[in-house]
Amino acid sequence: MRGIFKTFRFWLAFISLAIVIIEIFGFDEYAILLALISPVVWISINFPVFNQIVVFFPIVLTYVITVFFWFMVGMVLDRIIRRLKSKSHDEQ
């Protein structure tokens, strides 16, 4: 259990969940934090074609996708680090 606090997947998911909770309780009035971390919002801002589709997304689905996205980014980073550590350990 102690090792989970040393992983990117925990911290990235935790930070994104904290931002989602801030958004749910209305402390981020203009949704700036969510716009910085949410891939759904990135798509709607950068690709106007998808803006009409994203508008119909339920906000709860946007929150879930955001936390899941950052969890998966953390998993990829953890695997890369694990492989780099095992390669450096094998070379010694």
Question: What would the pLDDT profile of 72-88 be if each residue is shown by its tens digit?
Answer: 999 999 999 999 988 77
Phi, psi of 42 (to 5 degrees): -60, -45
Phi, psi of 36 (to 5 degrees): -75, -30
Residue 75: both structure tokens together: 């998993």
Domain range list for the chain: 2-86
Residue 1 binned pLDDT confidence (cut-offs 50, 70, 90): low
Is residue 23 within 8 Å of residue 34, measured between CB atoms?
yes
**Spatial separation of the C-alpha atoms in residues 75 and 2, rounded to whole Å:** 17
